[in-house]
Amino acid sequence: MSTDKLPFLPFALPEIGEEEIAEVVDTLRSGWVTTGPKARRFETDFAAFLGDEALHCIAVNSATAGLHLALEALNIGPGDEVITTTHTFTATAEVVRYLGADVKLVDIDPATLNISPAAIEAAITPRTKCIIPVHYAGLAADMTAILDIAQRHGLKVVEDAAHALPTTHAGQMIGTLASDATVFSFYANKTITTGEGGMLVTRNAALAARAKVMRLHGINRDAFDRFTAKVPSWYYEIVAPGFKYNLTDIAAALGIHQLKRARDFQAKRAVLAQAYNEALADLPVVLPPAPQPGELHSWHLYVLRLKPEAALQRDALIEALYAAGIGCSVHYIPLHQHPYWKSCYALRAQDFVHSQTAYEQMLSLPLYTRMSLDDVERVTTAVRQSLMS
Ligand SMILES: *Cc1c(COP(=O)(O)O)cnc(C)c1O
């Protein structure tokens, strides 16, 4: 198949429909563009989507903000240690440093690419306060083991669910488990998007109350409350030095309609992932880890690993695919490889063997709802030609 006449196939693209556009326009015409009725509705809809209206859902302007707010509300601070995976985006760990606490990076389970429960247990010290698992690529981390470790050691758990909408563990939606908080991302390339945005989800009313105050400058009453209150609206109190993390109604307008499509988006991604699996199975590659039977995998990412006997190495394959008009990426350069994290904690690659090995062999192929099965075939044909040549 000749690929050179085809348009460039990007690595990721959002799918924004007419309903999203109409809702944004409605917001723009409404006179209320910042956090207000649409952000509220998005929060309520989100709890309903997760299947538990008793959950507190707090819309924020990024998952990074949500992670920061969750850890702040859990009183993480100087002297504390927080354990997370090295196989993640820096946002998972940077929020720990915002609060002056220390990050303990640990290795992954090579079978799932998720944080290793055994490595978590081995990293616990008297200073450990919290664990941040990441549901890497949209496959749930081993939450049964992680919640058990947390309970035995008296640790908090904040799930980085930036990839995990919708994902299940043991038949339960991520966001509804017994963690202290779960944070979703609506960044442009995530499974649903508001451009930039996130959702902090918790069962803990005190944590929710603190996060709501800290989301908007430490004000004990939000602007829309004051705007719509029946009493004089000028008075408020600052109860803490808060942040500016609120989600605008313009962004929430997108989120309301993206959320309605999240199940269909997941189904489409699963079909595309299955097509990749079938077309690539006989090549010298390790296919992405599959979910347990009956579990939902969001398929945020399709991460392929090259076996050593493959004709091309990872970097060369990415070059070859790019030359064929196909965008790819790598998720992620592990944190222990980055100058900041490396020098901050004197990290060595040999202490993260599984993440390091996966990193050297892996690439993320394009996977998004606007792709067709023909697009998948175009990618798999190019991968096959490169690996077999
Ligand atoms: C995207 C991402 C984040 C950050 O999300 P933002 O909404 O961009 O702040 C955090 N963790 C992981 C694993 C991510 O992929």
List pLDDT tens digits, range 339-348: 999 999 999 9
The pLDDT of residue 315: 98
* 179 CB within 6 A, ligand 1: no
* 92 CB within 6 A, ligand 1: yes
Neighbours of 268 (CB within 10 A): 18
Which residue CA neighbors atom 15 of ligand 1 most closely? 162
Specify the ligand 1 atom closest to the Cα of 64: 9
Nearest to 256 by CA among 91, 110, 43, 61: 43
Q: For 66-77, how does the pLDDT look when each residue is reduced to its tens digit (9 = 90+)?
A: 999 999 999 999
Q: Does the structure show a pLDDT above 70 at 224?
A: no
Residue among 89, 186, 196, 245 to mutate when testing ligand 1 (max atoms within 8 A of CB)? 89
Residue among 60, 160, 194 to mutate when testing ligand 1 (max atoms within 8 A of CB)? 160
Sheet of 285-286: strand order equals 285-286, 302-306, 362-365
* Rounded Cα gap, residues 117 and 111, in angstroms: 13
The pLDDT of residue 172: 98
Structural domains of the chain, ranges and CATH numbers in brackets: 18-260 (3.40.640.10), 262-388 (3.90.1150.10)
The pLDDT of residue 232: 73
Q: Name 26's Cβ contacts closer than 8 Å, sequence gap at least 6.
A: 253
Binned at pLDDT 50, 70 and 90, residue 221 comes out as confident
Q: For 118-142, how does the pLDDT look when each residue is reduced to its tens digit (9 = 90+)?
A: 999 999 999 999 999 999 999 999 9
The pLDDT of residue 173: 98
* 88 CB within 6 A, ligand 1: yes
* Percentage of the chain modeled with pLDDT above 70: 97
* 302 CB within 6 A, ligand 1: no
The helix/strand/coil state of 274 is: helix
For the chain, what is the mean pLDDT?
Answer: 96
Average pLDDT over residues 297-323: 97
The pLDDT of residue 235: 85
The pLDDT of residue 234: 83
Q: For 33-45, how does the pLDDT look when each residue is reduced to its tens digit (9 = 90+)?
A: 999 999 999 999 9
Q: For 363-378, how does the pLDDT look when each residue is reduced to its tens digit (9 = 90+)?
A: 999 999 999 999 999 9
Q: Does the structure show a pLDDT above 70 at 95?
A: yes
Note if 190 is an active site residue.
Answer: yes
* Rounded Cα gap, residues 305 and 323, in angstroms: 20
The pLDDT of residue 268: 98
Distance 91 CA to ligand 1 centre (A): 6
Q: For 177-216, how does the pLDDT look when each residue is reduced to its tens digit (9 = 90+)?
A: 999 999 999 999 999 999 999 999 999 999 999 999 999 9
The pLDDT of residue 228: 72
* Rounded Cα gap, residues 324 and 383, in angstroms: 10
* Rounded Cα gap, residues 238 and 218, in angstroms: 5
Nearest to 37 by CA among 248, 343, 191: 248
Distance 86 CA to ligand 1 centre (A): 14
- Contact in structure between 158 and 130 (CB atoms under 8 Å): yes
Distance 387 CA to ligand 1 centre (A): 32
Residue 294 vs residues 65, 136, 140, 159: alpha-carbon distances, Å:
32, 18, 13, 21
Q: Among residues 38, 104, 129, 190, which one is catalytic? A: 190
Least confident of 151-155, 224-228, 258-262: 224-228
* Rounded Cα gap, residues 153 and 82, in angstroms: 13
DSSP H or E stretch at residue 198: strand 198-202
